[in-house]
Structure 1
């Protein structure tokens, strides 16, 4: 294994394959929200039952993320990613037949278990090709697999739903997953880049997990992402139905407009990731580049959410919802970079997965809470509006936590004191 200051040969090709991996991942996530109307009609679901179905995807998501994250510390990511892609694909095919709520939920739970570690393992795999100071752009590209996963798949899936059935939308995703698995089996390779140990220390340096898991910067970044992921999970599960039931758009129109927040988020993440990387390259502290800047955008978005539904036209309400929910998306870029900056490489996959497992717990809670709020509200529209008010408050709170407590430089010095005595060196440097 070598240590160097530039990407390995083939790094961008692997990044492209992992980008496609994340694209399919988010197509899998969004399909239930996109097909909410037809699924609810066929299975006669109440808002609360649909909320439970939407949440079921995340029941084993966090547990699987943590377990597989530790596994990925020891097993090559090439094989871990291949196994996940095969699981995703096979679990889609039962939906081609007539299913009930229980079968659909069971398949979504298994799918969530297969996809829980995806982002962390993909990031860990990518970081084996790029040194820390050049990880902003590839991190943003992988994050954009999420946005483009929705932008690319939603029109196709919505066309299938409208002209065929929601069953075939699941089948199409299964086929796409199998095709990616074949490509990865043929072209996927393992990176060999090792983060530079500071002061000539050993590459095998480790910090006890109790210190990493209680590190203020990592905890604060995970809390910030929890608030952002609350909105993302609602976007995946309730956004299309809000356009239909709250703003009066047809299924065709709602499916088309569903991609708008993700298009906006695409530019937010790419620009935000670039700004964060440029700030770091110019010597700006990680506290500013990876803490204050992204947390501030999340706070800004949260300030807009309480006003969703209060504007005079559906188009204005849609625009406000898109801006408020997506402007804080840069947090998904900086979290893995903060974890990577503070965690020794032998422990990185586990810490990326564990932090991801925490913030994705919002995926269990948010869809169910929204369904409960809608069902208990005086009107469906009032329920949606109150749900988005809750979302805005959480975004502001999460952003404030990140703004105040993400301090990587201070925490890096603190963590260095807890390395094993023989390896008492500074943790992985930011640069």
Structure 2
């Protein structure tokens, strides 16, 4: 009996029959989970100019605020990933979202620099495991050969969140205040939680304990996992993509406003474009990867080479917009530089399922999140320091984005050499 047939048998035997409708309702809710997640992430960037004015802080201090989101991100990711499979997904994800709400709440009234840092640290801790949780739950609803598209749809939530939130929150900030923007996000979290409690749960296609017992040879020691080149390649690729994502979350609105001279409302609208492109490209790339797999193309190509080439293209685009002045071509490169990197992340995460046993998958995804979250700590601080020390903000942004483009290209080269799920599968590693 294959793993997929065994998973279907598990679903029937445990009374957890898997229907396509149920599976896609859960996928939609998990996509919503990441939509709220990324809306929470970008609010400080959107309110950056007003925050810097009201709190009387400079670009370097603003970089510290944005970096602080990631200070506890890895710890939250590791803890949350440890709890995957040990706590029911219904309660684990709902509790996580409640923590988001509690972390945002003080900023509805506070104007303290220290309170904002504490708020971002708590939010980062609570949001650290979000992607790993969502992907791990989704994988319990789909067999291994069908996971690429639902994974891409869920990751697309990372793009849809800012697409929806950026213009809405910018309008709220301009017409009301940045405090009101935080209040909107508190309400959004409170709306999602009861929906998840009503409809969300694990699926029955892959029951980690039963599958691992029946397919014992698929399990690996942690020393083997940490030497697995595909796991390391995915971690490198995700680190490079998250350097781009963290800077996009932290600095893109200010770059458009202070670096390129767009007014706040225009910058708030334009900042949604890279996220919209990300949402589209994540799904399109997932479909392309799935089609490659169905046609017998090796997983190394569909889940290693393809995302690595997308990341390299994103790096080249980032260098391109850094060297261009404000204009249409500059904006096109900004969109492709950000969106291609995000889409690459959506595909390559699926490679973890190819090389790691089901019971260990959540922990390994947590390890990968912990690795790439360090990019979130480093990159906003580095860019803030460069902008502060440069002769002009525009010159600082140019130099910072040139460095970012180089990091992305180097990351792509390393990952294309490492990721090979067919070579590094758990079965073959013994």
* Band the TM-score falls in, shorter-chain normalisation: over 0.9
Specify the alignment match of 1:89 in structure 2. 101
Distance 1:218 1:415 in 2: 14
1:182 to 191, 194, 198: 194
Tell me, which stretches of 5 or more residues in structure 1 are unaligned? Answer: 418-431
Taking the TM superposition and a 5 Å limit, the aligned residue runs for 1:139-288 are 139-194=151-206, 201-202=214-215, 206-288=219-301
Specify the alignment match of 2:40 in structure 1. 28
Taking the TM superposition and a 5 Å limit, the aligned residue runs for 1:64-79 are 64-79=76-91
Specify the alignment match of 1:346 in structure 2. 359
Give 1:386 shift. Answer: 0.5
Tell me, which stretches of 5 or more residues in structure 2 are unaligned? Answer: 12-16
Give 1:198 shift. Answer: 9.3
Distance 1:141 1:247 in 2: 32
Q: Which deviates more from structure 2 when the two are superposed, residues 307-316 or residues 353-362?
A: 307-316
Structure 2 residue 16 is matched with structure 1 residue 3: no
Residues 1:292 and 1:162: Cα distance change in structure 2 (over 3 Å): same
Q: Provide Cα deviations, 1:307-338, integer angstroms capped at 9, x if missing partner.
A: 32433543322222222222233322223211
Q: Provide Cα deviations, 1:215-235, integer angstroms capped at 9, x if missing partner.
A: 111111110111111111111
Structure 2 residue 385 is matched with structure 1 residue 381: no
Give 1:90 shift. Answer: 1.6
Distance 2:211 2:75 in 1: 33
Give 1:2 shift. Answer: 5.8
Give 1:299 shift. Answer: 0.8
2:385 to 360, 372, 384: 372
1:59 to 47, 67, 71: 71
Give 1:415 shift. Answer: 5.1
Distance 1:308 1:386 in 2: 11
Name the TM-score, length of structure 2 as normaliser: 0.93
Specify the alignment match of 1:422 in structure 2. none
Taking the TM superposition and a 5 Å limit, the aligned residue runs for 1:407-418 are 407-412=420-425, 416-417=429-430
Specify the alignment match of 2:143 in structure 1. 131
Provide the aligned C-alpha RMSD in A: 2.1
Structure 2 residue 119 is matched with structure 1 residue 107: yes
Give 1:347 shift. Answer: 0.9
Distance 1:205 1:315 in 2: 51
Specify the alignment match of 2:339 in structure 1. 326
More helix by share: 2
Taking the TM superposition and a 5 Å limit, the aligned residue runs for 1:288-367 are 288-367=301-380
Residues 1:276 and 1:121: Cα distance change in structure 2 (over 3 Å): same
Name the TM-score, length of structure 1 as normaliser: 0.92
**Local SS of the residue matching 1:360:** helix
Distance 1:204 1:84 in 2: 34
Distance 1:25 1:93 in 2: 15
Query: How many residues end up aligned between the 2 structures?
Result: 417
